[in-house]
Amino acid sequence: MGDAQAGGLIGAFRAPHLRDLAEAAGLFAVFAAIALPLGLITGVFAFGIAPVQTILIVALVAVLVPALGEEVVFRALLQGRPSFPRRRESSGAAVLDPGFRRGDVLGVGFSLIAFIAWHPVQVWLGLPMAQPVFLDPVFLGIAALLGAACTISWQRSGSIWPPVLIHWLTVVGWKAFLAG
């Protein structure tokens, strides 16, 4: 598990910079460009528009579960303070933080594996939001890509909100337009 520096868990909830949101948008675009064709070609995704009421409910609920809840656990708690070289504000000037610590790769790797494993575990436990597709190897590969995009966003921004946005857009898009 990561250390609790830079304000601990509370520090994770700092407002992101505009550039962090722009990077999150770019990461989401790259993720979607890979995941969408992969899911459609393999049949994990299928085009279909959900009713508007369903989309609104999913959009509201998905902010908390899974987006915020999973990002807090799998990014902020398991990875701790971001440690990859990243920007930080110091006296108004942006500087790089070169403090990548040994052992951080293990924490990031563990959190990514835990994120992927969490999906089939939900099915095995019979949790209400679990779906049989959570057992599909292609879906789990797409979940791994999502986890990687969210990890990069967390490590670069130091704010939980950019990865929450990526995760939320993914879930809402899947449920609203891809028969999720």
Averaged pLDDT, 158-177: 98
Averaged pLDDT, 139-157: 97
Within 8 A by CB and 6+ apart from 165, the residues are: 21, 24, 28, 67
Say what the pLDDT of residue 117 is: 99
Residue pair 66/128 in contact (Cβ under 8 Å)? The answer is no
Residue 21 domain-assigned? Answer: no
Provide the domain count of the chain: 1
Show the domain range for 46: 27-177
- CA 171 distance to own-chain centroid: 10
pLDDT of 102 above 70:
no
On the CB side of 48, CA atoms within 13 Å amount to: 12
Residue 5 domain-assigned? Answer: no
Residue 3 domain-assigned? Answer: no
pLDDT of 86 above 70:
no
pLDDT of 1 above 50:
no
pLDDT of 83 above 70:
no
Residue 106 domain-assigned? Answer: yes
Strand ranges inside 14-164, DSSP E: 86-90, 93-97
Averaged pLDDT, 76-81: 90
pLDDT of 76 above 50:
yes
